Each structure stands twice: as structure tokens, then as C-alpha cells.
Amino acid sequence: MKTINLKFGGKVIFFNRIIQIVFFIALCKGCTPKCDNCNNAIDGKTFFPLEVGRYIEYDVYEEEFNLGRPKSTQQYQIKELIAEKYQDPSGREAYRIERYRRGVEGQRWQPDSTITVRLLADQAIRNENGNEYVKMVFPPTEKLVWNGNIYNSVGEDNYELKNVGKDFKVGQQSFAQTATVIQQNDSTLVNQDKRLEVYAVGVGLVYRERINLQFCSSSAACVGKAQIDFGNRQYIKYKNAGKE
């Protein structure tokens, strides 16, 4: 492009540069990605409904593997009750959740453990067994990645959001507008480490899967055959919810 020099009051203005800037501004009016679903964006906090007296029950199925011994299984139920709303030492709003456990339907619930949850402007934090985990980051967007262990000393562990806004089915129950948090999904010839959680709007956690297995690697004959030496599988599925 030819440069046109104009003089105003002894100063030289590079006219072609001005033209380039104006053209760039005009072009970038269309640079912002089009939002096809802005009015339906999900508020991340709706994945963590917190109200004193609200409870949710789950069915749990576990498998335990130990080398040279038969696989052991157990089934039981857990219940999480939001028992108290309070302020933590920093003055932020928090909730105390009481967890109960029972073997089968109809048995009395027995105290199991206590959990705390905090919802900040941009994240949900859950304290389990003395460690804080960032369960989700807001706003929830597809393929969003964060360090779930940023508030503890366990070590970096990157979580990823997937299937945001998708339907999810647990048994015979279907949930609209869910989000899946992939905490880990590694599988090799010698081990498998898979952890994921699914949350539903207005409900909370509806499904959790935790698999930690070590496969046989002691001989060439068993490598790659998914022959389990030891480890465990745990599946937690939504049963029902209500308010006391």
C-alpha cells in the first residue's frame, strides 16, 4: 500500500496507518463469537442446591478385589442431610452436611460422617475427611479444566467439565440439564483409574463412579487381559430426595 504523508502543523501523519486501524475496528465488530444460547446459560450454583433440612439418598454398590481371593461385594444406602447453615472463620457462608448410612431399606439410619460445603462466586468447595476439593468452577462451560486440589496438599489433580446441559439417566430416572465432572479417566495395560461425578440442576449429585484397579502384570500371558489383581469399584446412584 502506498504511504500518503499529510502535514498538519508541522507533524506528519501516516494516512495508510489510519486507514488500517479504522478497517481493523470495523472488521472486529464481527469477531465476537455468536451466542446462540445466552438466555439459557446454566447458573453453576443450581447444581448445588443448599437448604437446611433438605436431604438426598443414594444406593451404593461396591466391589473389592484382592489377589488370590474371591471378589467381595456390598450394597448399602447413604443419606446426606443439610443440617446447618453457618459462617466459617473467614465470615463466608457455609453448610454442614450430616451423612448417614444403612444396610437396606427400612433400617434405621446410622451416623457416618460430617461434610461441609461452601459456594463462592466462582466455585463450589466441599470438605471431605479434612480435605477441601473444588467440585465445580462457575460458570460451567464445556471442557473447562481446573485443579480440584488447589485448597489441599494432596497434589494437583485436574478436573474437566463435560456434557454441560445434557440429559442423564440413573436407573429409571432421567435428569435434565446435568454436568459431568471428569476427575480422572486413565487406563493402561496394568491399571485403571476412573473417577467421575454427575450433577443435575436443582438436585445436586446424581451419580458417582470411582474405579481403581491394578491388572495382572506378573507374566506375559496375563498382560493386557484386564485380569484384576486388586482394587475396587464404587457406584453411587441417586435414589430420592426431600426435606425434613
Residue 35 pLDDT greater than 50, yes or no: no
Task: Return the SS3 of 144.
Answer: coil
Map grid coordinates 455468536 to a residue.
34
Q: What is the mean pLDDT of residues 96-104?
A: 97
Question: Does the model's pTM come out above 0.85?
Answer: no
Q: What pLDDT does residue 3 have?
A: 35
Handedness of CA 143, 145, 148, 151 (dihedral sign): negative
Show contacts of 83-87: CB within 8 Å, 24+ apart.
83/52, 84/52, 85/50, 85/52
Residue 93 has pLDDT above 50, yes or no: yes
Please name the helix (run of DSSP H) or strand (run of DSSP E) that holds residue 187, with its range, or none: strand 173-187
What number is the average pLDDT over the span 73-91? 96
pLDDT digits (tens, 9 = 90+) for 121-170: 999 999 999 999 999 999 999 999 999 999 999 999 999 999 999 999 99
pLDDT at 178 over 70: yes
28-42, 52-66, 94-108: which range is least confident on average?
28-42
